[in-house]
Amino acid sequence: MSAQAHAGTWQIGEWIADPEDDTLTRGAESVKIEPRMMRLLLCLAESSGAVVSQEQLLALVWAGVVVGPASVYQSVSQLRKVLGDTGSPASYIETVARKGYRLVAVARRPEEAAKAAAEAGITGVPLKSHRLRWIGWVTAAVIAVAAAGIFVNLRWTGDASGTSIAVMPFVDMTTDKSEQQFCDGVTEELANWLAQIPTLRVVARRSASAFRDKQIDVREIGRRLGTANVLEGSLRRSGNLFRVSVQLVATKDGYSVWSGTYESALTDVIKVQEQVARAVASNLELRLTDATSAKFANRQSTSGQAYSLYLIARYHQLERTKQDNEHAIELYKQAIAADPNFALAKIGLAYAYLNQRYFNDRPIASIAQDAAPLLASAAATAPQLADLYVVRGALETELLQQEAAVRDLRRAVALNPNSRDALAELGFHHLVTGEPKEALQYYTHAAELDPLDYNLHAQRCIALSDLARFADGAAACEKARALEPGAAWAYSASSLLEEARGHIAEALGWNAAALARSPNVPRIYAERGALLLSLGLAERAREAYETAGVTADNDDLNVNLTWLGLVTIYARGGAAAMHESIAARGLTSSNNPELLFELADAELIAGDAPAARALADRALNSPGLKSDDLASPWLARTGHSYLLIAAAAQQATGDAKAAMTRLAELSTLLDRLTAAGMRRHGIYELQAQVAALRGDAKAAMVALQRAADQGWRDVWLAEHQPYFASLRYRSDFRSLLERIRRENGTESGKLGADTPSAASPHT
């Protein structure tokens, strides 16, 4: 820690309070709190033992914000909970009736505390510099989760005070109704402007849009969205002129709080948005600070044309389809051409490029080449835009730059507590790093801001299935499907949930429903083939591969499908047929480490250990291999690991020492995942495979039994991959496989004569 950082740090009782990053630390425990709560605590610390009045605290902590004594009371109450000060008499903060508050715990600078501890012959509470060495970036991110819970709860309590709002979709009043996309863009960006006000909770656009063209009482809207106000509006555009009418309505009684009409040239749409935002803040008695005004300025463009193009691009991007995403890319490019310094358009274009990871199966390295320069340019001109750190954090997550991703996403939340996207990206980050508890908390907080967005509930479903909370996961997936019946991802998530608990026929039904909605997404076919193979239906799995249309041109992009194709060829025609396919497609010439590992696994199944070893070595030595790919938590949760493939290939070719090193690395990863709450059967399957390769048959059977009880069904692979070879002589292993085989037969029987198709009842 720097001297400057030390200068603001206090030890208060058992806690270290560090205002640099608003953390409270006690031994190994660390909690992040809201900046205002930290200022409140330090105000009390600086007057330790003396009474500080409510008026003093309001002036010092809430300067420039119109609030009352209730805010002080709520913050003190929450701070006491964080400090563990729940008994009587108070051990940290004492309420002095009709006078104020007093810090009763001992408060001193850390250097004073360390000196006193040394004189007493004891070890003091570790400072931040030591704490971070122990925590590391992953645990530091976990701490942020608890902080987010505290932050959101503080920020959003007391909706009756009127500090929450939903911006309803603006109505297109143009004669030919041709401006709805522009209206939606205005609605979205106006909500974003309001979101810059730190004391105002703003419901995200997608949830507000659910009430478009529906005659629902405003009081019911307030109840369903959990908001005290709604902003209704209409827009009429005629050539280069437009007219906006807005009305602020209280949801508790449906009465109008304020209304206004603005007529202006199209080039002044930015000014109108700012005027409306300021009027809303004024009528809700929220004072705007210079920092908020600066955030408003960062969202502006010097070109009305550029801004209009940006608004329409946002509309298309938020439609979340491949076609709309491509259209958004073109519109963002046009906006940047009209205003080369327009930071928001550059950020939007970078985000649309990132969406191509899903929609187009575009490699992340290629995306980064286009997106990173855009983000760097935006950072140079508008470094206070929370949107910048959301997109950069999302890109860094995909690039496996985990520490940078957490840092940027946390900064986005600090700049804009209303950033549903930042919270959602943090949730995704924790999903891929194998921390389902933290992922669930972030997604839950995001859902509080965007309660009607199906995607957040689908992601909650995945996190809950990782925790083996299957009933809660099913409820989340059901909500996702109900909110967006046409979204393939809601059905894919349902399929993944059912696979996690071993309901393969049900999983195939939801998978068919997903394919009916998105028939051109290779990932869904790969999931389908894996499900069929787990039942031993190799020929049907082969059909899924062939329907997906994998070609030599995209083997590198769809490595799971490529593996599926080779394995099903092996099941049909043996090793010779598989090798013929590999040669015909020139697969071994690839430098993609992921594909090389999948080829190595296929060679292990075919019994060609030297070929598997050569491929695994090439993958391990590839400059494109990242440590987070080799020891991927995301893959491990599904029972797949490149560390395992490498270890098996090394062991099969006589390199026991290298194999044991890789198995130790994998074992460490699995221990971390189980400690983080991961309960998918894939984790226990890997534990069993590690133990079997180490020669510990007893431990292997214990882990495999647990995997089976949790939903593991991959008998076909267990019989063909080499990982369980040492167990095949054991009667308990054969009995377990026979039990699973019978259960798989029952699941297969549910499929009928044909594999579930788009005609599945789930559609």
Residue 755 within any structural domain of the chain: no
Last residue of a domain, which of 263, 278, 297? 297
Six token digits for residue 261? 């009409």
Residue 758 within any structural domain of the chain: no
DSSP state of 695: T
DSSP state of 760: S
Residue 763 within any structural domain of the chain: no
Q: Would the pTM of this model clear 0.85, i.e. be above it?
A: no
In DSSP terms, which residues pair with 171 in a beta bridge? 234
Residues 592, 658 within the same domain: yes
Residues 545, 686 within the same domain: yes
Taking CA atoms, 453 is separated from 178, 206, 324, 684, 747, in Å, by 26, 6, 18, 33, 33
In DSSP terms, which residues pair with 164 in a beta bridge? 201
CATH label of the domain that carries residue 352: 1.25.40.10
582 vs 114: CA distance, rounded Å: 65
Check: CB of residue 625 under 8 Å from CB of residue 593. yes
Number of H helices, E strands in the chain: 36, 14
- Largest Cα–Cα distance of the chain, in whole Å? 88
Residue holding tokens 């004594």? 69
State how many domains the chain has. 4
pLDDT, position 208: 80
Residue holding tokens 């995997």? 707
Find the length of the chain. Answer: 763
My answer on whether omega of the bond before 89 falls inside 30° of 0, hence cis, is: yes
Residue holding tokens 């280069």? 240
Last residue of a domain, which of 109, 136, 156? 156
Residue 625 within any structural domain of the chain: yes
Residues 635, 499 within the same domain: no
Residues 269, 369 within the same domain: no
pLDDT, position 535: 93
What is the rounded (10 degree) CA torsion for 469, 472, 476, 478? 110
Q: Closest Cα to residue 665, out of 621, 698, 632, 700?
A: 632
pLDDT, position 284: 73
634 vs 110: CA distance, rounded Å: 40
Residues 150, 290 within the same domain: no
Residue 760 within any structural domain of the chain: no
pLDDT, position 181: 72
pLDDT, position 79: 85
675 vs 145: CA distance, rounded Å: 17
Last residue of a domain, which of 251, 275, 297? 297
Residues 29, 87 within the same domain: yes
Residues 652, 619 within the same domain: yes
pLDDT, position 122: 31
Six token digits for residue 245? 């009418």
- Backbone φ, ψ for residue 243 (5° rounding): -130, 130
Six token digits for residue 721? 């991959």
Residues 342, 473 within the same domain: yes
Q: Closest Cα to residue 192, out of 349, 306, 348?
A: 348
What lies within 8 Å, CB to CB, of 221 at 6+ separation is 166, 168, 211, 227, 230, 251
DSSP state of 159: G
Residues 219, 275 within the same domain: yes
Residue 714 lies in domain: 522-749
3-state secondary structure (DSSP) of residue 164: strand
pLDDT averaged over 10-residue windows placed end to end, the chain, 763 residues: 49 83 78 82 80 80 66 79 78 81 78 43 29 24 30 31 76 76 75 77 79 82 87 80 83 83 73 76 70 70 81 82 91 93 93 89 91 95 90 89 89 85 89 93 90 92 96 95 91 96 95 91 90 93 83 60 92 94 91 94 96 97 87 94 97 96 96 95 97 96 96 94 94 96 92 47 41
Q: Return the H-helix or E-strand segment holding 167.
A: strand 164-167
Q: Closest Cα to residue 574, out of 538, 544, 547, 541?
A: 538
pLDDT, position 56: 79
Pairing relationship of beta strands 229-238 and 256-265 according to DSSP bridges = unpaired
Side-chain half-sphere exposure of 482, counting CA atoms within 13 A: 9
Check: CB of residue 265 under 8 Å from CB of residue 304. yes
Residue 238 within any structural domain of the chain: yes
Residue 759 within any structural domain of the chain: no
3-state secondary structure (DSSP) of residue 245: strand
Residue 757 within any structural domain of the chain: no
Q: Closest Cα to residue 245, out of 256, 237, 253, 234?
A: 234
CATH label of the domain that carries residue 236: 3.40.50.10610
CATH label of the domain that carries residue 43: 1.10.10.10
Q: Closest Cα to residue 101, out of 51, 57, 31?
A: 51
What lies within 8 Å, CB to CB, of 100 at 6+ separation is 51, 52, 53, 54, 56, 57
**Terminal CA-to-CA distance of the chain, rounded, Å?**
57
DSSP string, 26-83: ETTEEEE--HHHHHHHHHHHHTTTSEE-HHHHHHHHSTTS---HHHHHHHHHHHHHHH
- Backbone φ, ψ for residue 572 (5° rounding): -85, -45
Residues 550, 409 within the same domain: no
Residues 537, 670 within the same domain: yes
Six token digits for residue 64? 């420039």
Counting beta carbons within 10 angstroms of the beta carbon of residue 83, is it exposed (0 to 12), middle (13 to 18) or buried (19 or more)?
A: buried
pLDDT tens per residue across span 474-504: 999 999 999 889 989 999 999 999 999 999 9
pLDDT, position 353: 95
Residues 502, 364 within the same domain: yes
pLDDT, position 63: 64
Q: Closest Cα to residue 201, out of 136, 149, 267, 154?
A: 154
Phi-psi region at 84: left, alpha or beta (left = phi > 0; alpha = psi -120 to 50)? left
pLDDT, position 575: 95
Check: CB of residue 274 under 8 Å from CB of residue 239. no
pLDDT, position 267: 65
212 vs 189: CA distance, rounded Å: 17
